[in-house]
Structure 1
Amino acid sequence: MNTPDKKNMKHECPHQQECLQLLQSILDGEATTEQKDRFMGHHLEECMPCYQNYHLEVAIRDLLKKKCSNEAPQDLVDSIKQKVIQNLSK
């Protein structure tokens, strides 16, 4: 992913929920190569909310990996994701 020109990025995403779900699929390795390339190669460079969500999701996942010696319990991961989604809707 290239470093985007933040001043030229859109500041609202009309599809933020769908983008967040796609982003999670990408990070979980469940998205197709085409979905990943389109989202990571184009959309993130144009959309500030999705760019920020990407970095937030990566930071959350990295923190969970560091703090949990074993794999994080799925209910904890789901709870955190749900809270992030709720905060994005506000």
Structure 2
Amino acid sequence: MSNVPDQKRMKQDCENKRECLEILQLILDGEASTEQKNHFLKEHLEECMPCYKNYHLEVAIRELLKTKCTNHAPQDLVDDIRKKIIQNLAR
């Protein structure tokens, strides 16, 4: 049995794009409540094609980054980025 929902029955547009993106990020960062996670993954994704696609794309990107980005960034790059962030915050 496949985990892919019936795409013909799914909404092709999401009325709550911003909220769904925020919930998606919370879930993927491990910061969503059990209720948020259950509702989004078990109910919303079954009926909303844009969110279904976004979720699977984000999971794939994160998995790719985990496997490909095993080396640490050079310290001078980290220092340079930190310096630029501090400069931008001071403005």
What range describes the TM-score normalised by the shorter chain of this pair? 0.7 to 0.9
Name the CA shift for 1:71/1:37 in 2 (closer, same or farther; >3 Å). farther
**Displacement of 1:71:** 6.8
* Cα RMSD (Å): 2.0
Equivalence for 1:63:
64
Q: Deviations over 1:2-37 (max 9, x none)?
A: 421111000000111210110110111100000000
> Match for residue 5 of structure 1?
6
Larger radius of gyration: 2
Which one is further off, 43-52 or 62-71? 62-71
Moved over 3 A (4+): 70-73
Q: TM-score, normalised by structure 1?
A: 0.74
8 A Cα contact 1:65 1:71, kept in partner: no
Distance in 2 (CA, whole Å) between partners of 1:3 and 1:52 is 11
- Which residue identity does 2:65 align to in structure 1? L
Q: Tell me the equivalent position of 2:24.
A: 23
- 1:11 aligned counterpart, secondary structure: coil
Identity of aligned residues (%): 66
TM-score by length of 2: 0.73
Number of residues of Structure 1 aligned to a counterpart in Structure 2: 73
